[in-house]
Every structure is written in C-alpha cells, then in structure tokens.
Structure 1
Amino acid sequence: MPTSSISPTDGQTLQKGSPVLGNSLLTGVSLPAMVLHQKVLEHNIAWMQRFADHHHARLAPHGKTTMMPALFRRQMEAGAWGITLATATQCAAAFEHGVRRLIMANQLVGQANMALVCDMIEGGLDYYCTVDHTDNVRTLNDFFEGRGQRLQVLIELGVPGGRCGVRNAEELAALVEAIRQAPALKLAGIEGYEGMIGGDSALEDVRAYGARLVDTVRHLHGSGVLATPAPIVTASGSKWFDLIAEAFDQAELREHYTPVLRPGCYVAHDHRLYREAMEAVSERRPELEGALEPALEVFAQVQSLPEPGLAIVSMGKRDISCDPDLPMALRLYRDGQYRCDVTDWQVVHIMDQHTFLRVPEDADIGIEDIIAFGASHPCLTFDKWRQGLWVDENLSVTAVEPTFF
C-alpha cells in the first residue's frame, strides 16, 4: 500500500495507525514533511519544566506555537500547571483534547466567542482571559451575568508602543473600579507580555516591567480587590523568560501568589531567532545546565538543478517559515543515508512551493537528494501543517500528530 502524502495542501490527513508509522523518513515518506525530533522535544519539555520549578513558578506553555494536543499532553504530564492560548477557538480545541486549565492571554471579545467560552466553563474548564478596557468589562459582565456564570479575568498591563494592556495608573484604576462593579467578573490577577520590549535598554526595561507586574499585583492584593486567595501574576515569552522568572522568584510570591511563566516556542525551539535568544540567556545565566535545542525541521527534496550553483528544492512558503529569516539548509541525505552538513549553502529566495538554494558550483548534489532545513520562529511553520511527523534518532517515524489551527 503506498504511503499517504502529508503535504499541507493536498487535502489528505494521516491518522495514527497509518502505514507511515515505522517508515524511514528518508525512504518511506512523501516529502516535504514537517519533522519533530522526539528526543529533542522531550529534552526541551523537561528543561523548561525544571527551570520553572527551580524558580518556584508554575508553567503554562503557550500552545499557539504548535496547536498540537500531543505536545500539550506531554507538557502537562511533565508538570505544567496549565496551557496558554490566544483565541477562544484555540481554547476549544485544547479543551476537546483534555486540557482543563487555560489562560487565554488575550481579550475575550465577540458574542460567539463568549458563548464558546461559556460552554467550556460549564463543562468544567478553569479559564482565565485578560481585560484592558472598561467597555470590554461591561460587555463581558452583561453576557456572563445573563448566563449565570462568573468569569475569571486578569488585568493586562501593557507597555508604550506595545500591543494590548493598560498604559498608566489612571487607566488601571478605572479598570479595577469597573471590575468591582461587575458581579459576573472575578479579578484573579495581573497579566503581561514583555516580548514587545526592545532597543538598546531592553534588559533594563524588561526587568523594570517584571517589577511593575509584581508591584501591581501586590498593590491590588493589599487593596482587597482581588477575588482569589492566591492571585495570578503571569508573563514571559520565549526570549526573556529568565528575566521574568527572576522578577517572580520572591518568597512572598511563592507563599501568597501564583506566579506563572508562559513561554511557547521553547518546545520546538528554532535555528536562529530563539537559538540566539537562548545563547543570550546562557550568557546571563552561566549556572544553567544545558540549553534548549531545535527540534523542528522540514525535510524536502531537490527537484531541479537548472544552472551551476543553483538548486531548486520542493519546499516553499506553504511549508516553512520565511519570517523573520529565510530557511536554513542543515544536512543532505542520499539513498537513505546522511551524507554531509550543508550549513554553508544559502537560501536566497522562496516562493509558494519552490526554494532557491545557492550551492558551490562543484557541489555534490543530485536530483531527489533530501535536505533538512531549519527555520526561525517555529509558530509560522507549525501553522502550515495539518500534522507533524515525530521521528527517533534513526529518522524512523514514531508518531503522526495532528495540529488544530
């Protein structure tokens, strides 16, 4: 029986139990394919959980990166407190696959989305969303009061030029008062996102933002407006997670609050953007043992050698991220075997389903050779695929896991 194609555009979906399981990625799978190295996934999941535990913080990985419930399960089994997501439909997908505690690190807007969340809460979901405007507070209160429910909300603290979130003390005070007058809302803590902070003073600014989050949740707790005995304070993407953990790692927070870190890209990591971020973390924290490693690659075949020094690979924007960086060639395989590293070969252009790869004019490369590519920013590769292939160290397929974007 022929192996089913796993192209993200061909309308077919591989299920567990498909003949592809156990096949060699290099000889028994239709390419291109999104590939996850299982041993590296397990390493990254364990590494970040140890990091959070060491800093007395809970971990709620941002699942929007992968939208792969199999990874959510692995993260929860390793000790994650919950999962973070960005939209109500993402939350519904996770809930349908067994996740029972979710932070939606976003504002809940739209009646249809509110109804979806309401149904999940009625089904037993421990759910939190953010608020940053009094209009949203009033709309949420009207909807959930009408359904006889109480919604847990986190006030989002923003940064100038950032995305969402209150910007100053006056906006914060007005929002707190609006929530106080909203019987269907329960103020459960403070949320933030430091990933928009950049520039020459980024380190100092991220540390200051972490301190602001902590100071704000302490102030609100002292004023009696927080409706939970252990209020949540949460932030952290995959770039500055060490600085946020540092801000949260205080004896008072451990005893009276619930500090939650929310990195997402760490589970697959990458070959440039977050690799460089991890190198910076290791420089700041030389005592850390080990580091995160890239688990995500896309394997594709050479389909044309139209002129000296140029190879066309059957992979494109529909298969791999090209933002913020073009894909990176890593290794070449031939006849089912590793042949050589090709990190000096350069992707110079990418189209929908073609990649232009500059190679030395005397390069040993042939039609149907297989090249493994790395990417920068894993989120934008995962969302191109309906499933990913998990492989062992021998590149045998151990699982075919669906995504739910």
Structure 2
Amino acid sequence: MSSALNIAAVEKGIGNPGANLVRDVSLPALVLHREALEHNIRWMQAFVSNSGAELAPHGKTSMTPSLFRRQLEAGAWGITLATAVQTRAAYAHGVRRVLMANQLVGAPNMALIAELLADPAFDFHCMVDHPDNVADLGAFFAARGLRLNVMIEYGVVGGRCGCRSEAEVLALAEAIKAQLGLALTGIEGYEGVIHGDQAVSGIRGFAASLVRLAVQLQDSAAFAIDKPIITASGSAWYDLIAESFAAQNAVGRFLSVLRPGSYVAHDHGIYKEAQCCVLDRRSDLHEGLRPALEVWAHVQSLPEPGFAVIALGKRDVAYDAGLPLPLLRYRAGVLPAVGDDVSACTVTAVMDQHAFMTVAPGVQLRVGDIISFGTSHPCLTFDKWRTGCLVDEQLNVIESMETCF
C-alpha cells in the first residue's frame, strides 16, 4: 500500500478507493456494505412500484448525495427532506424534485427556497398546518412574484405537526386558496407517531381518513393540480400505508408517494424488528432488507478482566434506540474475521469517545483488535460523519461517500 494512500486514510473514517478496512483506514469509521446497500435500494423501489405508488426516500436519514443519486437512478420520484438547508444541499448535488415533509417557517428559510425556485426545473413542495404559516408564506412568495407549492399536513392528537381534525384541514384549504402566492398540491400525513397495542388498526384508520380528506378536497376543487399528491409512510409501516392507499383507490385518483428513508442502510435494531413485522404481515415478501451500515472501531484498552474499552462513542454512533451491537472481530491487518463469537459480548454504556463492553467468556481480545458494530436508528449514526466508506465483499473501499449535514 502506498504511503500516499496511508496518509490520505488518516482523517476520520476516510479511505481512498483501494484501501482495506483492516489495514489502511483510520478507525473508527462509518462503513456501508455495497451488496446490502444495492439490494435495499432495489428491494424498496420494487416494493413501492409494485404497490402502484411512487418513492420519495427521506434523504435526511443519510444526507449522502451519492445515495440520493443511486436512489433516483433506481427510479425514485424525488427526495424527501426536512429543512430548507437540507433542500439547498440536495439541490447543489443535482436533486431537482423535493418533498419537504415539514413546515417552511421563518423568512431566512423562505429566502433559501425562493432562491432555488428561480430554477424552473426545480419542483418543490412543503407542508402547512396553521393559518399563521399560510399567511406568512403567501405574503413572502407573492411579494417576490413566486408561487409556492404547499401540502396540508394532517396529524394525530399527541403526535407531531399537522392539523388535528378533518375540519381544520378543510378550513386551511380555504385559507390557502385566498393566497395568490400559494398553490395547494396535496395532503400529507405521518403514521409513525401512532403507537400501542392497536397501532395497526390505528394506522389503517389514519390512512383511510387521509384518503377521505384528499377526496373531499379534490371534489371541492381545492387543489391547484389535476393529480394531487397524497403521501405518508416512514420506515416501519410503509406496507400498511401502501395497502391502505391501494384499497381506497388513492393510486387511481392521486399521485401516491411513500417516503421511507432508513431502508437504504437498514439497521440491526429498531428497523430490523420493524422489517420482521412487515414480513409477518406480508407472506408474499420472501426476503426483506439487509443491514448495510456498521461502525468499525479498535479495542482501545483492557483494564480489567472481562471488560474492554472500545474507541467508539456518542460522537460516532447512535445510542438513542439501543447501544451498538458487536458483530465480528478482526486482528489488525488480517483477514478474515477471527472465529471468536464477539457477538456474545455486550456494550453496556457509551461516553463521548468510549464504549464500555463486557467481554463474553472464551473471547480473547487484545488491544488493537478491530470490531464491527451494528447500530440501531441509522439517522443518528449518519449525522456524526462527514465521510463513510463503501466497501466490497473483501472489505476494500470502493468509494468515499461524503455527507452534507
């Protein structure tokens, strides 16, 4: 390996194409496995297309332009984002259709979008759920001779944003119609805030209400486009939303858009569990998503018997939905993985730059060993990194994947 390559690999997680994870890359590192990643992109695109819907993956999960490009090339209708700044970043990397599944609030944020709307090829839609926001947006964009596409967000009591009743939705549509600077292009909801023992029936009921509202708005000529957008779906319940939209003929009357995001990398935690539930509900789906995302780190210290400190912490990996899961162990510079079952070890706590790990009986670690860790909730792992390593089956780096958080 050239000295130039080794020097280039010194920055956190960066490996030039040709570098190998166990020999050349400075750890800890964010690692994406090509085979699983490509499978997940194909799998979700096929699922959504076969459901008669369009896919607008939620880009805030990764904020990785090379993943946006792969998703769009595979057939995605657009990219979903959460903020004006994220939208500007995606636009700078070639994304020309954005569904911002959030409210556009504040004049500086409005100005960012107004600047992008100077490009007639840029198709942008954001959410509204309150008359105050409707009035502010209408005044801002009308003053600039622009017309902003907005969609009404419909929510649930105790959830996140969104009108809390069908009556509020219908009243907000009238307020939008009064604004020359706004065009109502659809209706949106998010089912991921519905929990409890009756979550499945609650989500189906919510989807039915969403479609019913869309029909009412369409029948009253509230929409500014012939085929309005109806959209919902996070990364856990997308199958129920797709089935509900299809059952109520939303696909025929509207442009149905699903927007899961975490599927692209999947995980070893909450979304792995959610995927098992999807497969239980859908016997026709014989294979699901595959975990593509890991974080690799060194064993840093072995200060006590049965206890290891890993050079991995809160600044490197998500910990909000479960602690990192040890997967495989490698001797530094050596392939393949060592046979000891490091998955029997347990991470018990994480600090800023350290993880505490209980070492399972029979596992013989040494300082400098490399361990791959699975994660739960990929959104809050991606956002800790400027660069990730896309690797092949031999753990050679194929591409350095830059993020733009």
Q: Same fold (TM over 0.5)?
A: yes
Tell me which residue corresponds to 1:158. 155
Q: CA deviation at 1:173?
A: 2.5
Q: CA deviation at 1:27?
A: 0.5
Does 2:80 align with 1:81?
no
Unpaired segments ≥5 residues, structure 2: none
1-side partners of 2:116 and 2:271: how far apart?
33
The amino acid that maps onto 1:380 is L
**Contact conserved, 1:52 with 1:261, CA < 8 A, in 2?**
yes
Q: Secondary structure, in 3 states, of the residue corresponding to 1:225?
A: coil
Q: CA deviation at 1:206?
A: 0.5
Does 2:37 align with 1:27?
no
Q: Secondary structure, in 3 states, of the residue corresponding to 1:195?
A: helix
Q: CA deviation at 1:362?
A: 4.0
Tell me which residue corresponds to 1:63. 59
The amino acid that maps onto 1:399 is E
Tell me which residue corresponds to 1:296. 293
Does 2:316 align with 1:319?
yes
Does 2:273 align with 1:276?
yes
Q: Secondary structure, in 3 states, of the residue corresponding to 2:192?
A: coil
Give the TM-score of the pair, scaled to structure 1: 0.96
Tell me which residue corresponds to 2:44. 48
1-side partners of 2:360 and 2:62: how far apart?
35
Q: Secondary structure, in 3 states, of the residue corresponding to 1:106?
A: strand
Tell me which residue corresponds to 1:168. 165
Tell me which residue corresponds to 1:367. 367
Q: CA deviation at 1:272?
A: 1.0
Tell me which residue corresponds to 2:191. 194
Q: CA deviation at 1:361?
A: 4.7
Tell me which residue corresponds to 1:306. 303
Q: Secondary structure, in 3 states, of the residue corresponding to 1:343?
A: helix
**Deviations 1:311-341, CA, capped at 9 Å, x for gaps:** 1111111001111101100111114221134
| Misfit runs of 4+, over 6 Å | none
**Contact conserved, 1:308 with 1:361, CA < 8 A, in 2?**
no
Tell me which residue corresponds to 1:95. 91
**Deviations 1:37-57, CA, capped at 9 Å, x for gaps:** 011110000000000011000
**Deviations 1:271-294, CA, capped at 9 Å, x for gaps:** 010000000000000111310011
The amino acid that maps onto 1:213 is L
Tell me which residue corresponds to 2:262. 265
**Contact conserved, 2:166 with 2:213, CA < 8 A, in 1?**
no
Does 2:141 align with 1:136?
no
**Contact conserved, 2:151 with 2:188, CA < 8 A, in 1?**
yes
- Which of the residues 10, 26, 29 maps onto 1:5? 10
2-side partners of 1:130 and 1:158: how far apart?
12
Q: Secondary structure, in 3 states, of the residue corresponding to 1:172?
A: helix
Pairs within 5 Å for 1:307-386? 307-334=304-331, 335-337=333-335, 338-340=337-339, 341-386=341-386
The amino acid that maps onto 2:65 is P
1-side partners of 2:235 and 2:167: how far apart?
30
**Contact conserved, 2:342 with 2:360, CA < 8 A, in 1?**
no
2-side partners of 1:30 and 1:302: how far apart?
13
- Which of the residues 246, 249, 258 maps onto 1:249? 246
Q: Secondary structure, in 3 states, of the residue corresponding to 2:193?
A: coil
2-side partners of 1:70 and 1:200: how far apart?
39
1-side partners of 2:361 and 2:203: how far apart?
47
**Contact conserved, 2:54 with 2:77, CA < 8 A, in 1?**
yes
**Contact conserved, 1:229 with 1:256, CA < 8 A, in 2?**
no
- The aligned length equals 396
- Which of the residues 117, 123, 143 maps onto 1:121? 117
Give the TM-score of the pair, scaled to structure 2: 0.96
2-side partners of 1:191 and 1:205: how far apart?
16
2-side partners of 1:237 and 1:121: how far apart?
27
Tell me which residue corresponds to 1:205. 202
The amino acid that maps onto 1:290 is E
2-side partners of 1:22 and 1:213: how far apart?
50
**Contact conserved, 2:269 with 2:321, CA < 8 A, in 1?**
no
Q: CA deviation at 1:194?
A: 0.5
Q: Secondary structure, in 3 states, of the residue corresponding to 1:399?
A: strand
1-side partners of 2:317 and 2:84: how far apart?
26
2-side partners of 1:5 and 1:157: how far apart?
48
Q: CA deviation at 1:364?
A: 1.4
1-side partners of 2:360 and 2:205: how far apart?
48
Percent identity of paired positions between Structure 1 and Structure 2? 53
Q: CA deviation at 1:257?
A: 1.1
